C-alpha cells in the first residue's frame, strides 16, 4: 500500500463523517502495523493529510481530525454507500467505480 492509498483511505473516512472532527487517528506505528507497511510510508500519508488541513498533529495529543475538515453532504454519502453496495453485488471493483466516476466528472 502506498502513502497515496493510505491518504485516500483516511480522507474518505474524514469526508464521509466516519471520522469526525477531533477524533484521534491511530498512531503512525499502529497504522503501519495494521496495513503491513513501513512506518515511513504511514508517516508520509499522515503528513499529506496534515498538509491538506484534514488532520492536526500534536506531540502529546497525537493526530486528530481537524475541526475544519469538510464533510460531504449526507445526500452524497448515502448515494456513495448505495453505489458501494450495488458495485459489490455486481462484482465491480473500487478501481473500476473510481475510474467511472472520474470519467463522468471529467465529461461534465
pLDDT score for 76: 81
Which range of residues forms the domain containing residue 83? 74-107
Q: How many CB atoms lie within 10 A of CB 95?
A: 8
Report the alpha-carbon distance of residue 13 to residue 26 in Å, rounded: 13
Mean pLDDT for back-to-back runs of 10 residues, the chain (108 residues)? 96 88 93 97 97 92 86 78 94 95 92
CA dihedral 101, 104, 105, 108 (to 10 degrees): -170
Predicted confidence at residue 7, as pLDDT, reads 98
Check whether residue 49 and residue 13 sit in a common domain. yes
Between CA 85 and CA 28 the distance in angstroms is 30
Give the three-class secondary structure for 36: coil
Q: Report how many domains make up the chain.
A: 2
Interatomic CA distance for residues 16 and 62, integer angstroms: 21
Are residues 61 and 9 part of one domain?
Answer: yes
73: Cβ–Cβ under 8 A, 6 or more apart, which residues? none
Report the CATH number that the domain containing residue 59 is assigned in CATH. Answer: 1.10.10.10
Residue 92 is predicted with a pLDDT of 96
pTM over 0.85: no
Residues 61, 78, single domain; the answer is no
* Radius of gyration of the chain measured on its C-alpha atoms: 15
- Shared domain for 20 and 61, answered yes or no, is yes
Q: What is the pLDDT of residue 1?
A: 93
Q: Would you state the pLDDT for residue 106?
A: 92
Looking at the structure, tell me whether residues 30 and 11 fall in a common domain: yes
Output the nine-digit C-alpha cell for 18: 466516519
Amino acid at each position: 500500500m502506498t502513502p497515496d492509498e493510505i491518504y485516500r483511505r483516511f480522507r474518505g473516512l474524514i469526508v464521509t463523517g466516519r471520522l469526525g472532527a477531533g477524533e484521534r487517528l491511530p498512531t503512525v506505528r499502529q497504522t503501519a502495523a495494521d496495513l503491513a507497511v513501513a512506518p515511513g510510508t504511514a508517516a508520509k500519508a499522515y503528513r499529506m493529510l496534515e498538509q491538506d488541513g484534514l488532520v492536526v498533529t500534536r506531540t502529546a495529543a497525537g493526530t486528530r481530525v481537524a475541526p475544519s475538515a469538510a464533510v460531504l453532504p449526507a445526500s452524497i454519502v448515502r448515494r456513495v454507500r448505495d453505489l458501494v453496495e450495488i458495485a459489490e453485488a455486481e462484482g465491480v471493483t473500487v478501481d473500476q467505480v473510481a475510474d467511472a466516476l472520474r470519467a463522468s466528472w471529467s465529461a461534465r
